[in-house]
Chain A
């Protein structure tokens, strides 16, 4: 017995506004993109004939193909780095920090930047990366280099450095959640049965946290694949990934080309999410508790 009857009409109608909002603002516009990407002709009109010409044009250009592979490669690098780093941090926070006060303080120190703007945090990297930036001055101070390295600002390295700081907590968060739901008795049982610590980790702890790892990876994957703001801020106009291409075409009023890139981006993401869902069942996450 609860305030709402199971399978009642009321429960159905309560969900309608939210469902309609999401359908109208998320699902329909994304479907529209597929349609627009198939438009032939030049005018912006719903009566345009449908063709695959826009796709043919995109795939005929080697620069774009290379860009697509660069985007996927860059995303894979970030997933690997944030995955390992995030897991280490999550493991330390949940398993190694004993004092509750310290744990709370550390959690807050990690979470608070999340409440500030990602854009500002990306901009904050600019004074770090420039030729006279903090990193170069520090390197020169300790004598690692004589001349400043120009490879930080407006470079892939700089973009990667900033994105690692922006997205590692996304990889760590779900792992923290899964780690803290592992019953200590499980590990104790394995220890009692004389399993060495590494085996306990590899055979017991890691498989139990795997859903968290995958969810974190999906979050990082989706965010990096679509993050054009950091690339634009730190990469200047020298670097572009697929999402920047959408923007570039949009600003030059090439709606069809922009839609084509958007659809391809969407397909990449769908493939990624489907692979992830094959590994873990997302619905089990909530049910475990």
Chain B
């Protein structure tokens, strides 16, 4: 007897649904385990059993000595991410606005930006380090790493801004221009406020990408490491729950940043919606 298509569709749903739930668990369990194990007691190892619960490993991170002090790298990574995010916002908005002007060679320009996403970090980082060596420029987290990381965050910001400009209602701009406003005034007073959520999204994206970036930083950072580099160096020396504590902290940090910004965007959309009526 053949089963009906409705029933077959239900069976497919169940199979795919189960697969999805299993994958979700697969994706989240390691993160939860990391968080759980970071609260292990002082004698706790790097896996179960936990040997009691304590804040020992967090204290350890906080009181850390010179070798495994994660506070300066954290500060560096945050400052770097902020700088990358701001640079990305400005350059990506300019570039996306330029694309609307369909200048000569804009097709090539688009591919150039895509190349920034496609080119693997290890090649870009290594190549840039070689170039700096040929030019005789010293490596440092706030100069060379900054330049390399912007080449990673900028294309994502650019694509975000392209999508934003594609969706936004051009009639509003036209109305302002028809009423005699100059192009610059229209952009500043009409266009920019309307696409601001997208701009903030691009900046947030840039912040997160730069904050977590490892391969590009690895070749181009001088003696002062950023956070991912410090974590990797500590992992090479010795694996203790201390790394789990650092990992849990930065993961929470990222999650809080995302939540705050999502909430901010949502609140802003609401407020602009109210103003419109």
Contacts and interface: CB of A to CB of B under 8 A. Distances in A.
Interface in B163-204: 163, 166, 170, 173-174, 177-178, 183-184, 186-187, 190-191
Interface of A: 1-8, 10-15, 17-19, 21-30, 32-33, 36, 44, 46, 85, 88-89, 91-93, 96, 106, 109-110, 112-113, 115-121, 123-128, 130, 132-134, 137, 164-165, 168, 196-197, 218, 222-223, 225-226, 228-229, 232-233, 243, 246-247, 250, 255, 258-259, 262, 265-266, 269, 273, 282-283, 286, 289
Interface residues of B, number: 100
B31 A121 contact: yes
18 contacts: A1-B174, A2-B174, A8-B101, A22-B113, A27-B115, A28-B127, A117-B250, A118-B212, A119-B214, A119-B232, A123-B34, A123-B243, A130-B47, A134-B33, A222-B120, A259-B126, A262-B122, A265-B120
B177 A1 contact: yes
Contact of A32 (B113, B120, B134, B243): B134
Nearest to A128: B30
Interface string B86-99: 00000110110111
Contact of A7 (B101, B148, B177, B190): B101
Interface of B: 5, 8-9, 12-13, 16-17, 19-20, 23-24, 26-31, 33-34, 37, 45-48, 91-92, 94-95, 97-104, 106, 109-110, 112-116, 118-124, 126-128, 130-131, 133-134, 147-148, 150-151, 154-155, 158, 162-163, 166, 170, 173-174, 177-178, 183-184, 186-187, 190-191, 208, 211-212, 214-215, 218-219, 228, 231-232, 235, 239, 243-244, 247, 250-251, 254-255, 257-258
What are the nearest 7 A-B pairs in CB distance? A11-B101, A29-B127, A226-B120, A14-B98, A124-B30, A15-B98, A92-B16
Contact of B124 (A30, A165, A196): A30
B100 A2 contact: yes
B243 A266 contact: no
Contact of A117 (B94, B120, B218, B228): B228
Contacts of B163: 286
Nearest to B191: A3
